[in-house]
Amino acid sequence: MNELQPKPVSASRTTFAQLMQPQHANTLGTVHGGVIMRLVDEVGAIACVRHAGHRVVTVAIDQMMFQRPIRIGHLVILTAEVSYVGRTSMEAEVRVVAENPLTGEQVHTNTAYVVYVAVDEQGRPVPVPPLQLETEAQRLRFEQAKARQAFRLQQREQARRAFAEQEPEA
């Protein structure tokens, strides 16, 4: 049983913003998707470290879709919230918004879901505090995240079986 004190979603909510510069460009001159993927992973990890009070490792990243290009010279604003916790795992929902700093116009470009596991100094999973849900939207999201997590664990089993079949007999 998890005997840690519950922590509210708001306690670990994390936002950061970064100006997109020429080194972030792809060959079309808009922002490279890998730059956004890295920022998503970082901000999600920070929210989960704050929730867990432990270091975390990324264990799964759901499919990411980029609905709109992001331009060089625009700000990328990422907001991460812990959307689900299991025993040692946590899902972060990361919302990505691009802002034209000259006009203040904002566009929601994508939302990503990333799963982290809290670990000790030896890299072994450790329990995390339960999540205190503060709004109806957070409760609904938690239930949806539970279903996503069940699906990921099914996929993990399939991947393990496929991997075992490919391994040569010892």
Ligand X SMILES: CC(C)(COP(=O)(O)OP(=O)(O)OC[C@H]1O[C@@H](n2cnc3c(N)ncnc32)[C@H](O)[C@@H]1OP(=O)(O)O)[C@@H](O)C(=O)NCCC(=O)NCCS
Output phi, psi for 16, to 5 deg: -140, 160
Nearer to ligand X, 91 or 98 (CB): 91
Rounded CA separation 93/100 (Å): 23
- Which one among 108, 156, 160, 161 touches ligand X, defined by CB under 6 A? 156
Q: Would you count residue 57 as binding ligand X (CB under 6 A)? A: yes
Rounded CA separation 7/76 (Å): 28
One-character DSSP codes across 6-60: PEEHHHH-EEEEEE--GGGB-TTSBB-HHHHHHHHHHHHHHHHHHHHSSEEEEEE
Nearer to ligand X, 20 or 44 (CB): 44
91 bridge partner residues: 84, 115
Q: How far is the CB of 24 from ligand X (least distance, A)?
A: 22
| Site size toward ligand X, by CB under 6 A | 17
Q: Would you count residue 60 as binding ligand X (CB under 6 A)? A: yes
Q: Would you count residue 114 as binding ligand X (CB under 6 A)? A: no
Q: DSSP character for 101?
A: T
The owner of tokens 């709109």 is 68
Rounded CA separation 49/12 (Å): 8
Site string for ligand X, 1-40 (x = CB under 6 A): ----------------------------------------
- Which one among 20, 47, 112, 115 touches ligand X, defined by CB under 6 A? 115
Rounded CA separation 120/117 (Å): 10
Q: How far is the CB of 128 from ligand X (least distance, A)?
A: 8
- Which one among 8, 33, 125, 130 touches ligand X, defined by CB under 6 A? 125
- Which one among 68, 87, 108, 139 touches ligand X, defined by CB under 6 A? 87
Binding site residues, ligand X, CB under 6 A? 57-60, 86-89, 115, 117, 119, 123, 125, 149, 152-153, 156
